[in-house]
Each structure stands twice: as structure tokens, then as C-alpha cells.
Amino acid sequence: MPKIGLKLWSTNLSYIPAAMDLFAKKTFDYIELFTVPGSLSTIPKWKGTVIPYVLHAPHSMAGFNPADPACRKTNLNIIKQVDEFFCALSPMFVIFHPGLNGSEAEAVSQFRSFGKAYPSMYKKTIIENKPQVGLQDERCLGASPEEMRSLLRGTGCGFCLDFVHAICYSVFVGEPWKNALVRFLAMDPSVYHLCDGSYSVKDTHKPLGEGELDLPYLISLIGPKKYVTLETKKAYTDSLDDFIQDVKKLKEYARA
């Protein structure tokens, strides 16, 4: 069984009591924490949980875009905040998106600058693949296996495989999705992202079992020691009951 991650944002303080209870019951193994810009005051609360962490850096919806040279100054300010979470929580990995509507060369250049400024964090940095088309029809970097591999070589970073993003890419280009996954898996992902959805060009983050994806097959591709974060939507503000059901589904599919 892989290690199971609970995805939360740093502003989701209302979930902390439920998360601590479920961690004590061994329902999950770590929290993947999205570090919302401007939320440094929440760090003591998260540190107090004594739960292992993976961090997810802000992405374009939070103003971070390493593919855009005009965003360099803003990006460095955001990275500084991510590093404060990193120093406080000692995460196993820090996940980044590669950027939007820009060039691979710019993204590689900016990632290298992050590495020079924050070398300890950079050693734990992994980059997530994206769909070809974003939710607002923007062009995402790191959609194809070839571009993803080139980004990893250029930056020296590790890899986070989002299954649904890979499927969205394959639908966009007309490639059988299992073939695309073989090429992504060859990059030896450190962390996986999983949710349910449909065979379409855009992600929907449905709860496990509420979409049409072949989840037993996807879960079979994850190694027993690997990390898989459930990126399913949450229906409640102070309860993780829907997450509990997702974990049950994951374990059911893993035994299938």
C-alpha cells in the first residue's frame, strides 16, 4: 500500500482537529499543504500537528508563474514564503507547477535562480506535470512527457505525476492514455496525485468512484513505498468525512 496524503491549504485551519484525529487512527500518512501566499501566521498551527508534510508551492492562480519573465520579482517573493514553511515543517518534498503561457527556457532559468537562493529547499523540489490546456484555456508547460523530461533535466528537480493531468494531455493530443502514462512513469515519480474524473482535456477533481477513470489500474501503477495525494474536492468546512470515504475507496481499488 502506498503512503496516503491528505491535501489541504495552509488557510484550512478548521480541518486541523479532524486531521490530527485521522492521523492518530492511521487513516493517512502525511499532509500535502498548499502554501497560500500571505499565510505565514498559520505556520505554528501546522507545525503543532506533528504530522509529516509535503508542501505544494503556490501556482498561477495564486500569482506564481515561473514561465513568465514579468513575474520574476513576484515569484521570488512567493518563494521566500514557501521557504519559511519549508524551514518550519521540514517536508519530504516541495511540489511546483512549471508555469503558463511562456517558455521552457524561462522556467528553467527561474527554477535555477530559486535553487541558488534556497538550496536546501531546492534539493527537495519536484515538478508536477500539467494538462495541455488549463481551466481558463491557458497553455500549460510540462504537459507532454517530452517537455516534462526536458524540464527535469534542465532544472535537476524530481517529478510529481498527476494521473489525471496526464490523461487530459493524452486526450488533447489523441494518444492512448495508457501509452502516455508509460512514458511519464519512466521518469520515476516521487509523488503521485490522484482523483476521479472523465476522459477529457480538463481536470475536475471528483471523489474516488464518482467519475469514469480506471482507478484500480491507476493505483496499481503506484509503488508500495511511494506517496499518493488524494486531490479530491471536500464538501465540508470542518469535517473530513468525504476524505475518509476516498481513502476507503483507494484501499478497495488497491485490493481489486
Q: Where are the domains of the chain?
A: 3-255
Query: Is a pLDDT exceeding 90 seen at residue 62?
Result: no
Span of 52-56, 151-155, 238-242 with lowest mean pLDDT: 238-242
Percent of the chain scoring above 90 in pLDDT: 87
Q: How confident is the model at residue 1 (pLDDT cuts 50, 70, 90)?
A: confident
Query: Is a pLDDT exceeding 80 seen at residue 137?
Result: no
Helical residues (DSSP H) of 90-211, grouped into ranges: 104-117, 119-122, 145-155, 163-173, 177-185
Query: Is a pLDDT exceeding 70 seen at residue 199?
Result: yes
CA dihedral 177, 190, 63, 86 (to 10 degrees): 170
- Quote the pLDDT of residue 219: 96
Burial of 201 (0-12, 13-18, 19+ CB in 10 A): middle
The answer to whether the Cα torsion of 44, 50, 56, 57 is positive or negative is: positive
Average pLDDT over residues 53-75: 92
Average pLDDT over residues 218-236: 92
Length of the chain: 256
> 202-225, pLDDT tens digit by residue?
888 899 999 999 999 999 999 888
Query: Is a pLDDT exceeding 90 seen at residue 168?
Result: yes
Span of 59-73, 109-123, 151-165 with lowest mean pLDDT: 59-73
Tell me how far the alpha carbon of residue 204 is from its chain's centroid.
14
Q: What is the DSSP letter of 229?
A: E
Helical residues (DSSP H) of the chain, grouped into ranges: 16-24, 43-47, 72-89, 104-117, 119-122, 145-155, 163-173, 177-185, 215-220, 241-255
Please name every residue paired with 125 in a beta bridge, in sequence order, or none if there are none. Answer: 94
- Quote the pLDDT of residue 255: 84
Query: Is a pLDDT exceeding 80 seen at residue 108?
Result: yes
Burial of 65 (0-12, 13-18, 19+ CB in 10 A): buried
- Quote the pLDDT of residue 60: 83
Query: Is a pLDDT exceeding 80 seen at residue 82?
Result: yes
Please state, rounded to an integer, the average pLDDT across all residues of the chain.
94
3-255, CATH topology level: TIM Barrel (3.20.20)
**Is the pTM of the predicted complex or chain greater than 0.75?**
yes
Q: How confident is the model at residue 256 (pLDDT cuts 50, 70, 90)?
A: low
Residue type, 10: S
Q: How confident is the model at residue 26 (pLDDT cuts 50, 70, 90)?
A: very high
Q: Which residues contact 14 (CB under 8 A, 6 or more apart)?
A: 237, 238
Q: Which residues contact 146 (CB under 8 A, 6 or more apart)?
A: none
Residue 159, all three cell numbers: 517529478
Average pLDDT over residues 152-178: 97
Higher pLDDT, 201 or 30: 30
- Quote the pLDDT of residue 78: 95
- Determine the Cα–Cα distance for residues 59 and 99; give it in Å rounded to an integer: 8
